[in-house]
Amino acid sequence: MHRNKVLLPSLLLAGLLAIASCSFSLPEGTDGSIALIPFWDEEQGIQGVQPMEDWSEEATIRQIAVPFSSEEAMALLLKETDLSALPEAAGRFKGKAFTWTLYEFESHLEELPVGIVHFDMAVAESEATTYVVALLALPDAYDANRAMYNTVYTHALYALEPME
Amino acid sequence: MQAEATQSTSEIAAQQPGSKPSRLLAVDALRGLIIVFMALDHANYFIAQKHPTSEIWDGMFPVYYDTLTFLTRFITHFAAPGFFLLMGVGMFLFARSRSERGWSRWAVIRHFWIRGVLLMALQLLIVNRAWELSLQGWATEFYIGVLFCLGASMILASLLLWLKPPYLLALTLVLFIGTELLHPGLGMWNSVSHSPVSVIHLYPGGNSVLWSYYPIWPWMELVVFGIFFGNWLSQDPRRAFSRAWKLGLAFLLAFVAIRAFDGFGNIRPRMGNSWIDFLNVVKYPPSMAFTLMTTGVNLIVLWLFSRIGPRLQPFVQPLVVFGRSPLLFYVLHLFLYAGIAHLIAPNGTSIPLMLPFWLLGMLILYPLCFLYGQFKRRQPVNSLVHLF
């Protein structure tokens, strides 16, 4: 009985070793996780989470708070784009502190001379302050990394709140 | 890793009139199961190179955009707390067994001190060499890992073996709550010292010279609780296992409550509101949520293994084989997976492609563990072999 207990795994092992020896250098896979780090921005009075600076060469996430109404804030933002008005809201997202209105669109952006930029943008207003989270990405990169970008974006939305 | 439990469980089985071997087989089977999960985590680290950032109390924290990546990490969470819990159980059963053979308390304590020092030395001299083989790079000069912490906990816990159960329970609670209180919330991280003494004893973290994921005191809670549970097990195994699932269920309910409340007991707030975020808890140090979740499941699985009858026992036998040679498995599997990674996956691989090599590692180690277990059983109880 003991012999069988050793023999069977040994045979399986020999078979697997043979397979392993054929598969020389397996192809790389993609990551399924990303690390986020909390931040505190005393100037803007907000705290939340963000990825490390080098998380992507083709995307960036901005988290801002401005002392305007959301209409004023959006008017300022639209001046930076080639849009005349925001598209219809794509949905809503309930975070820890705010319920966000979500927008998704593509536009040129004056400050970034890289052609068309994909925007995932969320807006919330509270006590005369407008909070904006925007994930900006090159469209091709956005399509290729949609899951990761969406994860960074939704976690940022969840965590953003006024500083305690 | 806690080879003493191997002896103690089989001895207790022989000594308990009317106790079925399957009851104490459960301890070895659970240890074997968590060894298999642990191996998956390390295969992920060495071969796939998809191991996420550690779930530490300060700094970066992982979030997931792939369910398989999360589950591959999540299922391995049950390993470390299981080792500490079962070490406590095994220590108590060993001490009781040896006392009945005439060993003095000092002889038992001395045995655990030697074994503890051996585990700590193995971490620093042997196991850390395996981590240095990581293809992702390894920058730490002295790493305080699970084996070091198990060894140090063993030395400290050896002094608690004769405490009465109420005191053990009280100490477990003090350590359980104390771990949470020791670690300040967001915004106060910079106020915490990362001196060598604090990272070895209290806070995970450190620098390129000394890094610890397993400070001693936060993990001691599970060893002390294991000694407490060992008391139950030695008095009446059937009743102890019956209590295990009830306690496990209570732990899981407490976990859900703590996680839903998202305040005290989580060390740091949830990163999001998905089901993955709900289960993605602080492991370093073991937050209350982490300890309740993992120990809850471990206790329920322990009960399930205790219910296995003779017909199903052959199916868990491979787990028992691993569970009876944990230290040999632990040391060898790290080098094995590091070696496989260098051979076939220098740039990492996907998680599904890593899985066959995880299994391959266990198939290679199975006969070695089996033969070593047989060899160890043939040695007299005072043999030095039982230290390994």
Decide if B340 and A20 are in contact by the 8 Å CB cutoff: yes
* Pair of tokens at residue B11: 């001895």
User: In which order are the strands placed within the sheet that holds A129-137?
Assistant: A59-66, A129-137, A112-126, A99-109, A91-94
Nearest to A26 among B349, B364, B374 (CB): B349
Q: Name the residue among B203, B233, B239 with its Cα closest to residue B218.
A: B203
Average pLDDT of span B152-160: 97
Mean pLDDT of successive 10-residue stretches along chain A, which has 164 residues: 62 64 66 93 94 90 94 89 89 95 90 84 94 95 93 97 88
* Pair of tokens at residue B293: 């979740």
For residue B335, the model assigns a pLDDT of 97
* Pair of tokens at residue B318: 């491979």
Decide if A33 and B186 are in contact by the 8 Å CB cutoff: no
**B327-354: burial string, b at 16+ Cβ within 10 Å, e else:** bbbbbbbbebbbebbeebbeebbbbebb
Contacts of B352 in chain A (CB under 8 A): 29
Decide if A20 and B68 are in contact by the 8 Å CB cutoff: no
Q: Is the pLDDT reported for residue B17 higher than 60?
A: no
Strand partners, A94: A99
Strand partners, B42: none
In a domain, A95, yes or no: yes
Number of A–B residue contacts, CB under 8 Å: 127
How far apart are the CA of A110 and the nearest CA of chain B, in angstroms?
A: 31
What residue in A sits closest to B54 (Cα-Cα)?
A35
Give yes or no for A25 touching B (CB within 8 A): yes
**First-to-last CA distance in chain A?**
67
The runs of H, that is alpha helices, within chain B are 4-15, 21-43, 67-74, 79-100, 105-122, 128-131, 146-157, 165-182, 196-201, 216-235, 237-261, 275-279, 288-306, 313-323, 326-344, 351-378
Nearest to B61 among A16, A36, A147 (CB): A36
For residue A123, the model assigns a pLDDT of 96
Contacts of A31 in chain B (CB under 8 A): 50, 66, 69
Give yes or no for A127 touching B (CB within 8 A): no
Q: Give the whole-angstrom CA distance, residue B211 versus residue B145.
A: 9
Nearest to A29 among B50, B366, B370 (CB): B50
How far apart are the CA of B60 and the nearest CA of chain A, in angstroms?
A: 4
For residue B6, the model assigns a pLDDT of 38
Contacts of A155 in chain B (CB under 8 A): 63, 271-272, 277
Q: Name the residue among A85, A84, A102 with its Cα closest to residue A93.
A: A102
Q: How confident is the model at residue B154 (pLDDT cuts 50, 70, 90)?
A: very high
**Phi and psi at residue A100, in whole multiples of 5°?**
-95, 145
Residue linked to tokens 């990163």: B271
Contact A119, A134 (CB under 8 A): yes
Contacts of A20 in chain B (CB under 8 A): 340, 343-344, 357, 360
The runs of H, that is alpha helices, within A23-145 are 70-80, 139-144
Decide if A38 and B50 are in contact by the 8 Å CB cutoff: no
Report the number of distinct structural domains present in chain A: 1
In a domain, A146, yes or no: yes
Q: How confident is the model at residue B15 (pLDDT cuts 50, 70, 90)?
A: very low
Q: Name the residue among A115, A139, A6, A78 with its Cα closest to residue B321.
A: A6
Contacts of A148 in chain B (CB under 8 A): 65
Complex prediction ipTM:
0.84
Give yes or no for A77 touching B (CB within 8 A): no
For residue B13, the model assigns a pLDDT of 44
Decide if A16 and B186 are in contact by the 8 Å CB cutoff: no
Q: Is the dihedral of CA B276, B277, B278, B279 positive or negative?
A: positive
Q: Give the whole-angstrom CA distance, residue B385 versus residue B6.
A: 12
Report long-range pairs for A93-97 (Cβ below 8 Å, ≥24 apart): A93/A122, A93/A154, A93/A157, A93/A158, A94/B273, A95/A124, A95/A157, A95/A158, A95/A159, A95/A160, A95/A161, A95/B273, A96/A158, A96/A159, A96/A160, A96/A161, A96/B269, A97/A126, A97/A160, A97/A161, A97/A162
State pTM to two decimals. 0.90
Report the relative pairing of strands A91-94 and B210-212 from DSSP bridges: unpaired
For residue A83, the model assigns a pLDDT of 87
Average pLDDT of span B272-300: 97
Decide if B347 and A23 are in contact by the 8 Å CB cutoff: no
Residue linked to tokens 């995307």: A59
Judged by DSSP in three states, A66 sits in strand
In a domain, A6, yes or no: no
Residue ranges making up the domain that contains A148: 36-162
For residue A12, the model assigns a pLDDT of 67
Average pLDDT of span B131-159: 94
Contact B117, B139 (CB under 8 A): no
For residue B186, the model assigns a pLDDT of 73
How far apart are the CA of B124 and the nearest CA of chain A, in angstroms?
A: 28
Condensed to tens digits (0 to 9), the pLDDT of residues B314-348 reads: 889 999 999 999 999 999 999 999 999 998 888 89
For residue B7, the model assigns a pLDDT of 42
- Domain of A152, CATH number, reads 3.40.1000.10
Contacts of B372 in chain A (CB under 8 A): none
In a domain, A2, yes or no: no
Contacts of A158 in chain B (CB under 8 A): 271-273, 277
For residue B19, the model assigns a pLDDT of 43
Q: Which of A2-11, A77-86, B39-48, B249-258 has the lowest mean pLDDT?
A: A2-11
- DSSP, res B185: -
What residue in A sits closest to B55 (Cα-Cα)?
A35
Query: What SS3 string covers B304-365?
Result: HHHCCCCCCHHHHHHHHHHHCCHHHHHHHHHHHHHHHHHHHCCCCCCHHHHHHHHHHHHHHH
Decide if B61 and A150 are in contact by the 8 Å CB cutoff: no
For residue B14, the model assigns a pLDDT of 39
Give yes or no for A144 touching B (CB within 8 A): no
Q: Is the dihedral of CA B19, B21, B26, B27 positive or negative?
A: positive
Give yes or no for A141 touching B (CB within 8 A): no
Contact B135, B49 (CB under 8 A): yes
Domain residue limits, chain B? 4-387
Give yes or no for A33 touching B (CB within 8 A): yes
Contact B305, B26 (CB under 8 A): yes
Contacts of A6 in chain B (CB under 8 A): 367, 370-371
Q: Is the pLDDT reported for residue B1 higher than 60?
A: no
Tell me the residue length of chain A. 164
Give yes or no for A45 touching B (CB within 8 A): no
Condensed to tens digits (0 to 9), the pLDDT of residues B77-110 reads: 999 999 999 999 999 999 999 999 899 999 999 9
For residue A16, the model assigns a pLDDT of 61
Judged by DSSP in three states, A43 sits in coil
For residue B383, the model assigns a pLDDT of 74
Q: How confident is the model at residue B379 (pLDDT cuts 50, 70, 90)?
A: confident
Decide if B65 and A33 are in contact by the 8 Å CB cutoff: yes
In a domain, A3, yes or no: no
Contacts of A25 in chain B (CB under 8 A): 344-347
CA distances, B12 to each of A45, B15, B73, B184 (Å): 62, 5, 35, 43
**B19-58: burial string, b at 16+ Cβ within 10 Å, e else:** beebbbbbbbbbbbbbbbbbbbbbbbbbbbbbbbbbbbbb
